[in-house]
Amino acid sequence: MHCPHSNSRTMEDEIHTDFNDDMSYGDYLKLEQVLSAQQPLSDQHDEMLFIVIHQTSELWIKLAGHELSSAINNLQKGEFNQAFKVISRVKQILNQLTQSWNILSTLTPVDYLKFRDALGHASGFQSYGYRKVEFLLGNKNAAMLKVHESDPVVHQELEQILNAPSLYDVTLHLLNEKLNEKLHEPGLPLDDEVLTRDFSQPYQRNDSVLNAWLTVYQNADQYFQLYELAEKLIDIEDSFQQWRFKHMYTVQRIIGNKTGTGGSSGVGFLKKALDISFFPELFELRTHL
């Protein structure tokens, strides 16, 4: 009688299991280093949650910075489609970060206080990755570099990003260029102070920019790439603001109005951040349409 298993390969046969001379999954992802990086400083159960949430958030933030840098480069080359792709990815990354606060919200204030003192002065305010993303999006603040003076490599990279055009700066140069191709009117469309501004300074809302965007939105078919780009930027700000709000609300839920571990004003500081818009004219124009 024929044995049904005599000529068949087992699952173990099908799967390559000998990695003595090959790179494994763990090797490729450096899992030994990644999974050994969770080192609680207390014996409290919930500190592991706190560490994992913040470490994974830093990884997502790192990817967001990587994608935003790429988007800026794409737009400088006029590669709209590739820029749209990575900007859409940033939106999803921010959505993922927002969802992570739901997990951290399971940490009660009583349980957090059991290990909070072990954190010392460590604070998300000191996050290099977050500062990089904010600079890339245009929320420039040279004073924030001081936080990173102890790490020359990080400080140098942030200083370079501070002095380079942000995603919105690059977008506004494209806006000016594309409208000039159509309008042929002296002095239009953007003021020189917008195009030649000091990139290390926070962006200030400008009437000429508002009017230029109104032209785009009122003639969306004619300027569809610019219109689509503007809506992609709105997607990013929408997702970023939801992340900011959820961050603020989670902190308020866990520590109330206490001062943050790094000495920041905690919830008060996070509430002020909600008033900052990366692309102010893109929201203002909706009132004028």
Least confident of 121-135, 178-192, 232-246, 267-281: 178-192
% pLDDT > 70, the chain? 89
Please give the pLDDT value at position 10: 58
pTM (2 decimals)? 0.88
DSSP for 14-70 reads: HS----SSS--HHHHHTHHHHHT----SSS-TTHHHHHHHHHHHHHHHHHHHHHHHH
pLDDT digits (tens, 9 = 90+) for 239-253: 999 999 998 888 888
If one compares 271 and 212, the residue with the highest pLDDT of the two is: 212
User: Which of the residue ranges 9-18, 78-87, 110-119, 175-184 has the most confident prediction, judged by mean pLDDT?
Assistant: 78-87
If one compares 7 and 43, the residue with the highest pLDDT of the two is: 43
Q: What are the sequence ranges of the domains in the chain?
A: 42-288
If one compares 123 and 106, the residue with the highest pLDDT of the two is: 106
Please give the pLDDT value at position 127: 92
Whole-number mean pLDDT of the chain? 90
Cα gap 218→286, rounded to integer Å: 11
CATH code linked to domain 42-288: 1.20.58.480
Mean pLDDT along residues 250-261? 79
Cα gap 124→247, rounded to integer Å: 11
pLDDT digits (tens, 9 = 90+) for 204-247: 999 999 999 999 999 999 999 999 999 999 999 999 999 999 98
Distances in Å between the Cα of 126 and the Cα atoms of 118, 129, 145, 227 are 17, 9, 10, 36
Please give the pLDDT value at position 274: 84
